Amino acid sequence: MSEDDKPRGKPTVKAKAKIPNAQSIRSPEFTPHGISAGRGSGLNRPSAPSALTAKQARNRRLMMIAGIVVAALAISGGVYWWVNRPDPVIEVTGKFAAEPKVEIPTKLAPTRSLKITTPIKGDGRAIADGDTAYVSFATYKWSKDKDEENSRVKSTSEKVSSTWEQQGQQQQAGPRPLVIGKSGLKEIDKNLVGRTAGSRVVLQLPPSKDLSQLSPQQITDKDAVVFIMDIQAVVPKDPKPEGTAQKLDDKNLPKVEDKGAKEPKITIPDVKAPDKLQVKTLVQGNGPALAKGDDAVVNYVGRIWKSGDKFDSSWDNKQPVNFPIGTGATIPGFDKGLTGAKVGSRVLLVLPPADGYGKEGSPPKIKGDDTLVFVVDILAKIQK
């Protein structure tokens, strides 16, 4: 070794270490390289590998996130619905022209303003002021609960009247004629204008003195009223045939002169009355045909062939009449002569006694051997 390679300075102190005997080392203090500390030791134990693939794990995370979002939306949606939930409403259900089912919630306070709904909307003639509407209806009294401050109930209701029930009890046949503008209730007159035949209209009317006049023993000026009306036919203020005129030149039959909306003029010839029923269409209407069981709304005038005297006229009474066709509810000549006739038509009927009032006649005006002459304008058919 050369001088340059020799270490310089003080000699290096040798380190001393005490190496324990391998037999005295406890297993927790020593782990051979690459060997785990054993089950349950928890020392340097790597995490167990997942059984899921990376894609499956990602899908699971997405599903968890989606579930959280759905739950959050459901909760927020439920809160929104509760805050903005609709108020209770009057429910009217059932077939048109039949007694409806009416539910007025007790949690709904009686109306303080006019409300109108049309659960069934028809496509028939629209009502104008002065028209006659043929309606079936039910009336409900709707009152504020007397103990509202100490109860959750806000109102009570009861049915006051129903034309359907009266029809069932045979107190009144068919719907009632209601002249718009003369009903006695301004709100009804005003708010039925524009409504169409075939419609069901629900009117919620606030308390008033006018309403209390409907049934003074049951309805007070503090009660609201609910009307359910089915409009089954509409007849114009000045009704007249609506169709195509048909020429009639039979000299052995009466002559009929048109007077527009007024009663037609009938001239009976000075010949022997026919012994069989005569049915002649003077105006062919454009509406639906009458079938057996239909209720017709008509204007008519009747005269006696022999004397020419008038014995009845709806024009004189200033009110059309309605009756069923083909069911025996009227004289035979009407059933036979009007079945199949169309709405809007004008029909001439010559009825021998057998098709009129028979051998007994209809005293004091009509004798048992009288032949009758009718002119009938078919104005409407009651919708059912």
CATH of the domain at 176: 3.10.50.40
Helix, strand, or coil (residue 95): coil
Contacts of 311 (CB under 8 A, 6+ apart): 302, 303, 304, 365, 366
Q: Is residue 2 part of a domain?
A: no
Residues 201 and 326 in one domain: no
- For residues 206 and 224, the answer to whether their CB atoms sit within 8 Å is yes
Q: Is residue 143 part of a domain?
A: yes
Alpha-carbon distance of 131 to 134, in angstroms, equals 10
Residues 109 and 78 in one domain: no
Strand pairing category for 310-313 and 295-304: antiparallel
Other residues' Cβ atoms within 10 Å of the Cβ of residue 96: 17
Pick the closest to residue 374 from 319, 322, 298 (CA basis): 298
Q: Is residue 165 part of a domain?
A: yes
Residues 267 and 360 in one domain: yes
Residues 227 and 248 in one domain: no
Residues 221 and 317 in one domain: no
Contacts of 343 (CB under 8 A, 6+ apart): 285, 286, 287, 288, 289, 290, 378, 379, 380, 381
Single residue among 171, 202, 235 that ends a domain in this structure: 235
Strand-pair partners of 157: 142
pTM: 0.76
Q: Per-residue DSSP letters for 262-318?
A: SPPEEE--SSPPPSS-EEEEEEEESSPBP-TTPEEEEEEEEEETTT--EEEEHHHHT
Alpha-carbon distance of 159 to 227, in angstroms, equals 10
Residues 247 and 203 in one domain: no
- For residues 264 and 301, the answer to whether their CB atoms sit within 8 Å is yes
For residue 364, is the peptide bond before it cis, meaning its omega torsion is within 30 degrees of 0?
A: yes
- For residues 63 and 173, the answer to whether their CB atoms sit within 8 Å is no
Residues 155 and 253 in one domain: no
For residue 197, the one-letter residue type is: A
**Domains: count for the chain:** 3
User: Tokens standing for 228?
Assistant: 């359910």
Helix, strand, or coil (residue 201): strand
Residues 295 and 358 in one domain: yes
Q: Is residue 1 part of a domain?
A: no
Single residue among 83, 105, 136 that ends a domain in this structure: 83
Phi then psi dihedrals of residue 78, to 5 deg: -65, -40
Residue 34's pLDDT is: 42
Tell me the average confidence (pLDDT) per consecutive run of 10 residues in the chain, 384 residues long.
49 49 47 43 47 69 73 63 64 96 94 95 97 96 77 86 81 81 91 97 93 84 95 96 95 96 97 97 97 96 97 95 93 97 98 96 96 98 95
State CA 74 to chain mean position distance: 33
Give me the half-sphere count of Cα atoms (radius 13 Å) on the Cβ side of residue 35: 8
Alpha-carbon distance of 169 to 318, in angstroms, equals 28
Strand-pair partners of 289: 342
- For residues 129 and 188, the answer to whether their CB atoms sit within 8 Å is no
User: Tokens standing for 328?
Assistant: 């025996």
Residue 275's pLDDT is: 95
Residue 366 DSSP symbol: B
Residues 269 and 154 in one domain: no
Q: How many residues make up the chain in this entry?
A: 384
Pick the closest to residue 45 from 57, 34, 33, 36 (CA basis): 36
Q: Is residue 161 part of a domain?
A: yes
Residue with tokens 């009890």: 169
- For residues 379 and 235, the answer to whether their CB atoms sit within 8 Å is yes
- For residues 191 and 114, the answer to whether their CB atoms sit within 8 Å is yes
- For residues 280 and 253, the answer to whether their CB atoms sit within 8 Å is yes
Apex 263 CA angle, 340 and 234, nearest 5: 55
For residue 268, give its domain range. 243-381
Single residue among 61, 83, 105 that ends a domain in this structure: 83
Q: Is residue 8 part of a domain?
A: no
Residues 353 and 319 in one domain: yes
Phi then psi dihedrals of residue 127, to 5 deg: -80, 135
Residue with tokens 């009845």: 312
Alpha-carbon distance of 153 to 109, in angstroms, equals 9
Q: Is residue 3 part of a domain?
A: no
Residues 366 and 288 in one domain: yes
Distance in angstroms between the alpha carbons of the first and the last residue of the chain? 134
